[in-house]
Amino acid sequence: MTEATRSGREPAAIALTPILSARYREEDLARIRAAAPGARLVNVSLEGLADSPLDEVEVLLRGPIPSGNFDRLLARCPSLRWVHSATAGVERVLTADAAARGLLISNARGVFSEPIAEYTMMMILSVLRRLPELIELQQERTWQPLPAREMRQVTVGVVGLGSIGRNVARLALAFGARVIGTRKEPDERRDFTEPMPDGMDRILRHDQLPELLTESDFVVLAVPLTPETDKFMNGSRLAQMKPGSWLINVARGRLVDQRALLRALRNGPIEGAILDTIWEEPLPPSSPLWDAPGLIITPHTSWSSGRVLDRSIELFCDNLVRFRDGRELLNLVDPEAGY
């Protein structure tokens, strides 16, 4: 942390934008005030409209504010030193203007890991137990038992063993699946509270991704969006996937080349895909994805849980006390790495 963050005093003002599609509850505001009782709270809309002056704002709790609005907000906060993103992805925060200011940026890594892992397991089990087809049969009033598979018969490949990926691997192992995963070289700056799950078959380097693709019945994307991962699952990588396998994206829409995915769904080798995040959200009614064979789409809801808002505020308040005391923040983002 820079010397500017080691002042050992409370911020003069804290700006709060809406987070997680929810309004701040009174208990949330009370917790923030308790962590920094001398700070003035400023409410800011996602359009950047503030209910009081921004010139003294030193801390920003940021929700899904678009990058353009974010940059305009930065220009109106000359005293800003730290931005805490209530999302795990920070591609809309790591703007050129933020970099020029040298702002500290932290994110919500770990807040959403459990519900996203549970969503992933729900989808894997639904595919193995043929739930979509069973629902169709019910709607047709047709009594037709369908053969299914067990978790012990499949391999789950987790691309990215960060907080979300580790939780996916942990649950898949608990159900008896064979699990392999890829990760970058260990980074001592990353303080993961979740240990690497015991029982994984293999942990591969990033350059060993083809091994994961050819062996996995389900490939789960759990990597951040960076310039290196934009269109990560392109035509070449989709072609390397195991025949009859499924792709699950619970990370960022731009990780998947959607045109290449449509071709792979129509022509193989994959049987299906599950997308909880899309390039353009909400997905337009005219999108060909709606009618793609073997594609299940959900409206970016894998993170949803009654506990995520509590964890979000808890993490922010913990970091707020650390910021006030001049201590190292949790979940600091490396601007060069992009996460």
Q: Which of 166, 252, 271, 324 is catalytic?
A: 252
The Cα 324–Cα 105 span in angstroms is 15
Q: Which of 47, 228, 281, 328 is catalytic?
A: 281
Look up residue 73 and give its DSSP letter.
H
Whether cis (ω within 30° of 0) applies to the bond prior to 224 is no
Q: Does the annotation mark 271 as catalytic?
A: no
Q: Does the annotation mark 178 as catalytic?
A: no
Q: Which of 129, 130, 300, 322 is catalytic?
A: 300
Helices of type H across the chain: 26-35, 67-75, 96-101, 113-128, 131-139, 163-174, 209-215, 235-240, 258-267, 308-325
The Cα 80–Cα 17 span in angstroms is 14
Q: Does the annotation mark 133 as catalytic?
A: no
Whether cis (ω within 30° of 0) applies to the bond prior to 132 is no
Cβ contacts of 197 within 8 Å, gap of 6 or more: 166, 169, 170, 173, 179
The answer to whether the CB of 47 falls within 8 A of the CB of 92 is: no
Q: How many CA atoms lie within 13 A of 330 on its CB side?
A: 18
Tell me if residue 120 falls in helix, strand or coil. Answer: helix
Containing 204, the helix (H) or strand (E) segment is strand 202-205
The answer to whether the CB of 18 falls within 8 A of the CB of 46 is: yes
Tell me if residue 285 falls in helix, strand or coil. Answer: coil
Q: Please identify every residue annotated as catalytic.
A: 252, 281, 300
